[in-house]
Amino acid sequence: MTLMSSSTAAAGPAWAPPLWHALAALTVAGVLATLYLTFAVAPVEAQMGIVQKIFYFHVPAAQAMYVGFIAAAVGGLMYLWKRNDAWDAFCVAGAEVGMLFCLIVLVTGPLWGRKAWGAYWVWDPRLTSTLLTGLLYMAFLSLRGSGMAGAIEKRFAAALAVISFPMLFLIKYSVARWAGQHPQVVTGEGQGLAPDMYPALGAGLVFGLLLVGWLLWARYRVERTRQQVGRLEQEAAERGLLEDLY
Amino acid sequence: MRVAPSLARWAGLALTLVTNVALAQDPSERAAGFRAVEGANVEDVPGGMLLIAAYAVAWVLVLGFVWRMWGLQKKAREDLDRVERALAERSGEGG
């Protein structure tokens, strides 16, 4: 009975905490508000036309990608230091959520580029460095994809998350350091945005952060539960009870 | 180590791609501002379809991720309940 009691306590309650549901509701409301601001308030851009509205979720998705990959690097670093499974779960959650938004960035950017540049893909430094970062985190996910990672795979994946972290700086500064076609509207020194475009972008950035936070939390909870199942099965095997479970 | 072949494949692809970084474009050609349109909006490339495609892909990816998480959590909770129940029964038999 001691085993069962301790496992239940570690896994936490089956239901999600109220704050988790509140965050989910706030995120949904925020995303709807952002859609309204994007399509009803923000004007059509003069040169590119309506396709420029991709900007209002392409940029928040890129921001969410940074948050996810930073979480993965922090989780990986802390796991290598503390060897605590909670940090491993945080690392996995960060990498998966970051990869989700990296995919969104890599799909929506070329669709915008088709109109803006006349081509879906150009080997621009920012596009290339983002693709390269995505491939590194795909390597991470292929390591951890089975969900049955041992200590070696966990350490290897954590190290990969940490050494991939500098790629984020490469993405961030590639647009300024090297030539390329990627716009520099937000961080550049040009005319910036038309005033009516700011509310949609601001809402996208704020509620994009809420969305990535909620997804990180949700994925972290899943991973902690899976870890708990793995620990219980291992303890059962050590006590010779595994055959009773299947 | 069995992780090495998988990692080597990804690293090989990554190294191939990084060598393709284009460095020869003029930074002054980049867009540096967005202006609102004046009058009717006329487009040659169908930007509306590209916009719809982008939104559709983004939402399919996000909702698919949420759906997958829900499935993983459901399965993990069921596994946890099953293991705990089996261990409790076994402990009851022993004690």
**Mean pLDDT within B36-40:** 78
Length of chain A: 246
pLDDT tens digits along A171-200: 888 777 776 677 766 665 556 788 889 999
Residues 6+ apart with CB under 8 A from A19: none
Question: H helices of chain B, where?
Answer: 4-18, 47-94
* Closest CA of chain B from A134, distance in Å: 9
Q: Give backbone dihedrals phi and psi of A185, rounded to 5 degrees, phi first.
A: -70, -45
Which A-chain residues 87-106 have CB contacts (< 8 A) with chain B?
A: 96-97, 100, 103-104
- Measured over the CA atoms of residue B57, residue B62, residue B63 and residue B67, the dihedral's sign is positive
Contacts of A178 in chain B (CB under 8 A): 21, 23
Prediction ipTM score: 0.86
Which regions of chain A are under pLDDT 50? 1-11
Q: What's the whole-model pTM score?
A: 0.81
